[in-house]
Amino acid sequence: MLCSVFKLPNFVVYMTTPKRPNVILLVLDSVRADHVSCYGYKRLTTPTIDKIAQEGILFSQVITAAPWTLPSHASLFTGLFPTEHGVSQENTYLSETIPTLAQLLNQAGYRTVGFSNNPWVDKSTGLDRGFKEFFGWRNFRPTTKTNFLEKISRKLQLYKGSMAENTIKQMLSWIKTYSDPKSAPFFLFANFMETHIPYSVPRQFLRKFSATEFNWRTINQDEAKYITGTTRMSTEDLEKLALMYDSALAYLDSEIGRFLTSLDKLGILENTLLIITSDHGENLGEHGLISHVLCLYDTLLRVPLVMRHPSLILPGTIVNNQIQLHYLFSTILQVAQSMVAKDEYQGSINLLNQTDKGQVNQGYTFAEYNHPVLTANRFRKFNPDFDNPQLITALKCVRSSQYKYIWSERGQDEFYELEGDPEETHNLIQDSKASLEIDKMKCVLTMWEGTLVKTYQQPMIADLELDDAALTQRLKDLGYF
């Protein structure tokens, strides 16, 4: 099949404001769009996010470039796809030759600060680069500087302390200390982990969606045990897992609400671009998977994105065209009126230029999952022979509003008709009726790959030193080793 000309979008919008706004970027780790209530979910999980969407803009089809934390954040901070920035399970450090969003905003005169609950977003991976101040996950652990009774009460869920609570306390302290309408604007980034497996939810939020109490400790939250078949989970178990996830989301949403209420009282929101999104989604039993590993289904790729600014964004705006999450990189640079926003990186994309009447339709979005060496090694601790070719493989996908084609390094390709099969349960890769569309999507994916430019030179994971015992243990707790 001959491929028609394929061109990525290239349009430029320069925004002007009397005073450059502050930018607050909140990443709610592992939140999938279809569990957010303003995206049509059956449970009222996110009244705070819903309110921001009503006061600003909601993007209904946002696709992340990677289905797990490290490469997704690297894309968010560089405007590049994983192939371009090179961060993966085989290469866990962002090259110092690649400029980051925080670096460029620093150069543009912004005061930059980062708060991360996730050990993958930290100094050890290079994702702290450019932040004038950066507070990593060790700063927010609930067990830090607490007495014995408080530690026990947390385990029994009698104490509501959490990483989110501690993070927001420090964020507000920083803002009260350093934000001054007469001084330079600030860029604040924060990553929250309440919706990252394993979930630990205050008891009152578990009761929010369940009429009957259950012992959440009996529900398996280890994806390696489930996927390798070491631990079986019933339909009821998976329903309870989803309930725990929703409860964690509701709790995190309430903490974000507390943060925004405080900002409103301080008058900070009057000239602040507020962005709430996620780095990737979460599997809750779909496709025989839990957590966020080994696939490129929409359960992992489609994330929420809402933004608010009183003068830059018309309240109640909804954008239904699909977009890439990491176009936030260029959007933020243009809002900040950074000089580098003219031509470099993804500088031609400004998401705030998209309206219902004047959208530029990108047509296709893309995502990558490089070979899962860390995940495979961990799974083989439970089953030494585990080597499912559909799962232990590198993946790439191209997605349109109608179709998705997933390329597998081990030949387990997939093709879905999204309008009739949004849950991606009927693989049409062998369907002769779909052959023309499959060929077209293969062609688009190949041509897109030809546009990517690798911009990194650095060691593989075997050459990196993970000699920090606390970091290694934290990653083990989160299911990475």
Beta-bridge partner residues of 307: 57, 275
Q: Are strands 57-63 and 302-303 parallel, antiparallel or unpaired?
A: antiparallel
User: What's residue 467's pLDDT?
Assistant: 53
Q: How far apart are the first and last CA of the chain?
A: 43
Predicted pLDDT of residue 146: 47
Residue at 476 is within a domain: no
What is the number of domains present in the chain?
A: 1
Residue with tokens 């302390």: 161
Report yes or no on 454 lying in a domain. Answer: no
Percent of the chain that is helix, strand, coil (3-state, to 5): 40, 15, 45
Query: What's phi and psi for 16, nearest 5 deg?
Result: -125, 135
pLDDT per residue as tens digits for the range 197-221: 999 788 888 888 887 878 888 999 9
**What's 265's domain CATH number?**
3.40.720.10
Give the pLDDT confidence score for residue 210 in this predicted structure.
83
Buried-state track 21-41, b at ≥16 Cβ within 10 A, e below 16: bbbbbbbbbbbbbebbbbbeb
Q: Report the distance separating Cα 395 and Cα 399, nearest Å.
A: 13
Residue at 207 is within a domain:
yes
**Within a domain: residue 451?**
no
Q: By the 8 A CB rule, do 78 and 96 touch?
A: no
Nearest to 282 by CA among 193, 415, 374: 193
The 10s digit of each residue's pLDDT in 99-145 is 999 999 999 999 999 999 999 999 999 999 999 999 987 877 765 44
Q: Is 16 in contact with 337 (CB distance < 8 Å)?
A: yes
What is the pTM assigned to this prediction? Answer: 0.88
Q: Could you tell me the two tokens for 383?
A: 């089953």
| DSSP reduced 3-state for 74 | helix
Residue with tokens 């650095």: 458
Residue 377 lies in a domain: no
Across 50-129, where does the E strand assignment appear? Answer: 57-63, 111-116
139 domain-assigned = yes
pLDDT for the residue 457: 60
Residues belonging to the chain: 481
- The verdict on residue 116 lying in a domain is yes
* Spatial CB neighbours of 286, under 8 Å, sequence gap ≥ 6: 297, 299, 423
Its domain, for residue 49, covers: 22-363
Average pLDDT of adjacent 10-residue blocks, the chain of 481 residues: 36 48 97 98 97 97 97 97 94 93 95 94 94 88 52 44 87 89 88 92 85 84 94 95 96 97 94 97 96 96 97 94 95 80 56 62 88 91 91 96 97 97 98 97 96 70 49 57 50
Classify residue 5: in a domain, yes or no: no
Spacing of C-alpha 446 from chain mean position: 25
